[in-house]
Homo-oligomer: A and B are copies of this chain.
Amino acid sequence: MIVDCGVYSEGLRHDLPKDPETVARTIGADQEAFGWVGLYEPSEAELARVQELFGLHPLAVEDALEPHQRPKVERYDDSFVMVLRTLWYVDAEDAVETGQVSIFVGRRYVVTVRHGEGAPLTTARQDLEDRAAVLGHGPAAVLWAICDSIVDGYETVAEAVEVDVDEVETSVFSPERTSDAERIYTLKREVLEMRRAIAPLREPIEAFAHGAVPGISHEAAPFFRDVADHVIRVSDQTEALDTLLSSALNAHLARVSVQQNDDMRRISAWVAIAAAPTMIAGVYGMNFHNMPELRWHYGYYAVVALMVVTCTSMYAGFRKAGWLGPS
List residues of chain A with CB under 8 Å of any chain B CB: 57, 59, 62-63, 69-70, 72, 74, 76, 169, 172-173, 177, 179-182, 184-185, 188-189, 192, 196, 222-223, 225-226, 229, 232-233, 236, 240, 243-244, 246-261, 263-265, 267-268, 270-272, 274-279, 281-291, 293-300, 303-304, 307, 322, 327
Contact = CB atoms under 8 A, between A and B. Distances in A.
Contacts of A182: 173, 251, 255
A275 B271 CA distance: 8
Given A236-B196, A300-B286, A274 B279 contact: yes
A258 B181 contact: yes
Contacts of A267: 264-265, 268, 272
12 contacts: A59-B223, A70-B229, A179-B255, A181-B251, A256-B261, A274-B279, A284-B288, A287-B291, A287-B294, A288-B300, A290-B297, A290-B298
Contacts of A327: 177
Contact of A260 (B72, B264, B276): B264
A287 B285 contact: yes
Q: How many copies of this chain are found per oligomer?
A: 5
A244 to B, nearest CB: 7
Contacts of A229: 63, 69-70, 72
A236 B196 CA distance: 8
Given A76-B222, A286-B300, 8 more contacts: A169-B185, A177-B327, A181-B258, A250-B250, A264-B264, A271-B272, A284-B287, A288-B294
A290 B188 CA distance: 67
Given A264-B267, A288-B303, A277 B282 contact: yes
Given A70-B233, A244-B189, A264-B264, A257 B256 contact: yes
Contacts of A225: 59, 74
Given A291-B287, A298-B290, A179 B258 contact: yes
B263 A261 contact: yes
B289 A294 contact: yes
Contacts of A275: 271, 274-275, 278
Residue in A196, A263, A283, A288 whose Cβ sees the most chain B Cβ within 10 Å: A288
